[in-house]
Amino acid sequence: VVSLEHFGFPKPVQAWYYNNNTLSALGEYTPDELRTGHWKFFYDNHTLSAEGNYSDKGKKIGTWKYFHNDGTLKSVEDYSTGEVTVYYPDGVKREHFYLKEDAIDGEVELFYPCGALKEKLVFQNDKRQGKGRSYYATGEVETIYEYTDNELNGEFQSFFVNGNPRIVASYKNGRLSGDYRSFHANKNKDSEGRYMNGVPVGLWTHYYSNGNVSRKGNYNEASQPVGEWVYYDEAGLLTEKRTFDH
């Protein structure tokens, strides 16, 4: 039993130790051997790992704080609301979300080490659901997407940092499906074609950044080039024809 005011306990509490005799935990048990009241837990290097309160039924209640083994704040969790905030070692917010019955539920926000918003998405019962967005560290939108049960579904868009479109595509059950277009940073087309079950099929055309075609041809359903493919230089002059047979 210890009574040390700098640990924040107004009266003596029980203490537990690691095999190397460093302090492991401070707190009290009920007669039914359930943790109750205020508790503190420690790493074997003496630094605080977690602290918070238990109900008389041994359940975590209120606000708990968790720490890295160097003593810096790792996360704060409010067990009454399910709100969780996770931090980088330097104290900058890293993640913010809500738990419902130990599953992530609701809006999730992710942040860059500089503090800027990195991604905003939605979880339902621990699965990614619905629309979300990711951002560059400078604040511009990087991607717009939609999830169903942890898999990308529906329209997908990505952008260059200047706001110009980079990719316009669609997903089905986590795989690229349907028309696909990509662009150079100057808005000119980079490629266009079609995906099926995550692989390119049918006619595909690729472009130089000046807008001229660089090559085009067809893929079979195994995503193998078939038939005649034609190749051009940046000036638009034909340089090669190649025939594939699979």
The secondary structure of residue 7, as a DSSP letter, is G
Confidence of residue 11 (pLDDT cuts 50, 70, 90): confident
**Could you tell me which residues come within 8 angstroms of residue 107 by beta carbon, excluding any fewer than 6 positions away?**
97, 98, 120, 121, 122
Confidence of residue 10 (pLDDT cuts 50, 70, 90): confident
Question: What DSSP string describes 169-206?
Answer: EEEETTEE-EEEEEE-TTS-EEEEEEEETTEEEEEEEE
Question: What DSSP string describes 91-143?
Answer: S-EEEEEEEETTEE-EEEEEE-TTS-EEEEEEEETTEE-EEEEEE-TTS-EEE
List the single range of 9-23, 112-126, 131-145 with lowest mean pLDDT. Answer: 9-23
**Averaged pLDDT score across all residues of the chain:** 95
The secondary structure of residue 42, as a DSSP letter, is E
pLDDT for 7 equals: 77
Per the document, the length of the chain is: 246
- Tell me the per-residue pLDDT of 183-210, one tens digit each, with 9 for 90 and over: 999 999 999 999 999 999 999 999 999 9
Whole-number percent of the chain with pLDDT over 70: 97
Q: What is the mean pLDDT of residues 11-34?
A: 92
